[in-house]
């Protein structure tokens, strides 16, 4: 590969230092660019090694054909946890070496893509933080602590760490391209190429991803309150990932809201809806999801929250709401809400169940919550 022909012009150096927090959606763009770099090595006949860790065998299934093509020209090692039956079902392509990870091994929570060659090296090393942020799906919103870089010494060091328990012959073969590149001084063309790659990653992890998120959010939010809308909820629940945490789900309905609208007008009703959304946000985390389902009905999703905490937060929201006052002429209107609370596996959320619990609370006089039995979830 002729680096002078591929080096971008007018790229200033910004060193990659330290770990960053990024969502899976953002890091997927980085991992794809690293895999594309490996494909260029295939196209140019360069010697290379790619080592990738997948959090579960099911994730490798989506990438099987891509890694089969890479294995036709380079050394390819993939690591993931799974039962013997799951590993066998993965049908590793010829030339793809498997690094078996124990589910209890911290490396099974990593998402790494490391490429070394004499031309250029690049790597992503990310650890699952077991947290999510607002996104179109739980899977895309999963948060990672990540390091990205093109320094050959760092990439080779990460590869050595990952392959520590691999067969010595495989380790020697895998590290050979990287050891050769660390023993020489990089030419200017290689330096500029590395700088261009890193600059592109930064754009991916900041500005470009943010613009895409902003455009998508406009289509998925309620214009009046800024909460997510029903379209978002349907997409979110349909895209729950394999490793998503349990979800605390709370369904709210504002008691007497129709009367507020009928007596004081829709402008006061709109003010009430905006105020309720503010009250909820003041009692939850930034990563929790508030959805306006329609009218005065709301759904709150709290990933990874146990039932006791979910009930406590719901109770605090109900109490705070009852202490609020609407603008004149509705300043004396009684404010109350009813809520149903439940804990579910992420792929088994039963909105009808929390809806029924909410109506039991409303039937008992409102201004209260009803929690589903704790046995519905291991999180409780």
pLDDT tens across the length of the chain (380 residues): 443 333 333 222 233 345 677 777 778 888 888 999 899 989 888 899 999 998 778 888 889 999 999 999 999 999 998 888 888 888 899 999 999 888 788 888 889 999 998 878 899 998 887 766 555 555 566 778 888 888 888 999 999 999 998 999 999 999 988 877 776 666 666 677 677 777 777 766 665 455 555 556 677 889 899 999 998 888 888 777 656 788 999 999 999 999 998 898 888 999 999 999 999 999 998 889 999 998 999 999 998 899 999 999 999 999 999 999 998 888 889 999 999 999 998 888 999 999 999 999 999 999 999 999 975 544 44
Domain check: are 271 and 307 in the same one?
A: yes
C-alpha span between 139 and 241 (Å, rounded): 5
Q: Quick one: pLDDT at residue 67? A: 94
Cα–Cα distance measured from residue 149 to residue 156, given in angstroms and rounded to the nearest whole number: 11
Same domain, 234 and 208: no
Same domain, 230 and 108: no
Residues 168 and 255 in one domain: no
Q: Which of 216, 241, 260 is the last residue of a domain?
A: 216
The contacts of residue 66 (CB under 8 Å, 6+ apart) are 35
Q: Which of 216, 244, 277 is the last residue of a domain?
A: 216
295: CB partners within 8 A, 6+ apart:
257
Residue pair 228/290 in contact by the 8 Å Cβ criterion: yes
Q: Which domain holds residue 356?
A: 221-376
Residue 161 shares a structural domain with residue 284: no
Looking at the structure, do residues 71 and 188 belong to the same domain, yes or no? yes
For residues 159 and 209, membership in a common domain is answered with: yes
Residue 26, helix vs strand vs coil: helix
Question: Which CATH number characterizes residue 38's domain?
Answer: 3.30.870
Residue 187 and residue 336 in one domain: no
- Whether the bond between 156 and the residue before it is cis, its omega within 30 degrees of 0, is no
């Amino acid at each position: 590969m002729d680096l002078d022909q591929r080096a971008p012009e007018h790229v200033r150096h910004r060193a990659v230092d330290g770990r960053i927090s990024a969502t899976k959606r953002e890091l997927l763009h980085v991992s794809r660019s690293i895999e594309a770099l490996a494909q260029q090595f295939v196209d140019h006949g360069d010697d290379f090694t790619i080592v990738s860790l997948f959090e579960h065998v099911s994730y490798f299934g989506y990438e099987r054909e891509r890694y089969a093509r890479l294995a036709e020209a380079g050394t390819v090692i993939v690591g993931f946890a799974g039962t013997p039956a799951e590993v066998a079902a993965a049908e590793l392509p010829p030339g793809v070496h498997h690094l078996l990870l124990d589910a209890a091994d911290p490396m099974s929570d990593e998402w790494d893509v490391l490429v070394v060659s004499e031309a250029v090296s690049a790597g992503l090393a990310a650890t699952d933080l077991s947290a999510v942020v607002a996104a179109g799906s739980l899977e895309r919103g999963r948060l990672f602590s990540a390091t990205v870089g093109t320094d050959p010494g760092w990439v080779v060091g990460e590869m050595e760490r990952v392959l520590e328990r691999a067969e010595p012959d495989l380790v020697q073969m895998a590290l050979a391209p990287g050891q050769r590149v660390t023993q020489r001084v990089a030419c200017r063309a290689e330096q500029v190429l590395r700088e261009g790659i890193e600059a592109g990653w930064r754009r991916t992890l900041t500005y470009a991803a943010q613009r895409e998120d902003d455009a998508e959010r406009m289509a998925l939010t309620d214009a009046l309150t800024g909460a997510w809308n029903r379209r978002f909820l349907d997409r979110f629940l349909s895209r729950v990932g394999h490793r998503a945490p349990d979800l605390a789900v709370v369904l709210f309905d504002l008691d007497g809201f129709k009367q507020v609208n009928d007596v004081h007008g829709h402008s006061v009703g709109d003010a009430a809806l905006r105020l309720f959304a503010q009250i909820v946000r003041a009692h939850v985390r930034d990563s929790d999801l508030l959805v306006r389902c329609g009218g005065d009905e709301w759904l709150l999703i709290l990933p990874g929250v146990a039932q006791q905490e979910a009930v406590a937060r719901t109770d605090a929201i109900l109490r705070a709401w009852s202490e609020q006052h609407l603008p004149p002429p509705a300043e004396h209107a009684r404010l109350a809400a009813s809520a149903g609370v439940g804990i579910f596996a992420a792929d088994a959320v039963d909105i009808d169940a929390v809806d029924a619990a909410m109506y039991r609370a409303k039937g008992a006089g409102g201004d209260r919550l009803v929690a589903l039995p704790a046995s519905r979830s291991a999180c409780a």
